[in-house]
Amino acid sequence: MRALFLIPGDSSLQLQAFPAVGAVADQLQAQVQIVCPPEAVPLWGLHPGVSRAVPFNFEAGTLADWANLLGTIREPDFQLCINRAGGRQVDLMLSMSHIPSRIASGGFSATERVKEPQGIWPCQAWEAWLQPIGVRLEAEVFRLTLPPAELRQAAAELPSGDGPVLLLAPAGGEGDWPQERWQELPGLIRRSLPNLRTLAGGTGTIREQAARMANADVVLASDPASIELAVLLGLPVVALGRASSALPSRQGVQALGRAGQLDGLTSAEVLSALGLA
């Protein structure tokens, strides 16, 4: 079987789809292709169940762009399309495709419409799109695995020592936890854990970022994509500015503070969330 996912949105939204894509690939023995924004194509290279990621600008695609995309998705013989995009152009394109099963939350091209769940962990919310094709989703079970060679290379680049590794991934910009508090935090932690080692997230290729994070013992992040990546890797993470409902209910995963209002969060509160107060 060949399955096509149309997924607009930023990196965090792409990562939220990883467990669902994995479930379709595994349970239907499907060859999966993804249509996503150009900047997300390298991200999908991390997913072992994806054979190809097709770059497409959902926001600014012209009629010619949509026609070219139609030609691209007509070439393989897809039996299934799960569509998270909206608008008349995508509906026209899918209506002219030969894909027999087209699942979406709306639009005239859908052969099956689903109701989008509210107030639950976004990774698990994807189950609504999988139910019509009989695919079960246990998003919490999914773990992103990386090649051992990449993990070893990242481990070799860790700061020297044998202490625990804390990866810091600030989002930056207005409303984030102030930069000076990010900078002072490692020193505060070393008062009780003098052998603490720290890493900075967000540098290098996405594969390098993922391998570096996988070598951490705990992640403190306000960057949305880093939070999602830490969750998929199964790491303990304190997610700044993330609602509890947007995270899995498991030990080691904790929400702290409100998005856009992190400047009032104290270092003592963050240390407490990390279990170091």
The average pLDDT across 216-221 equals: 97
What would the two tokens of residue 127 be? 């189950």
The average pLDDT across 211-226 equals: 97
pLDDT in tens, 234-259: 999 999 999 999 999 999 999 999 99
Residue 88 belongs to what H/E stretch? helix 88-96
Distance CA 165, CA 215 (A): 8
How far is the C-alpha of 150 from the C-alpha of 146, rounded, in Å?
7
Q: Each residue of 67-108: pLDDT tens digit?
A: 888 887 777 789 999 999 988 889 988 998 889 999 999 999
Averaged over 205-231, what is the pLDDT? Answer: 97
Question: Would you say residue 55 has pLDDT above 90?
Answer: yes
Global confidence as pTM? 0.95
148-273, superfamily in CATH? Glycogen Phosphorylase B; (3.40.50.2000)
For residue range 12-25, list pLDDT tens digits in order: 999 999 999 999 99
How is residue 138 written in tokens?
A: 């246990």
Residue 32 confidence (pLDDT) above 70: yes
Fold of the 2-141 domain: Rossmann fold (3.40.50)
Mean pLDDT of 149-178: 95
The whole-angstrom separation of Cα 259 and Cα 4 is 33
Domain with CATH 3.40.50.2000 in the chain: 2-141, 148-273
Q: For residue 108, how far is the Cα from the chain centroid?
A: 28
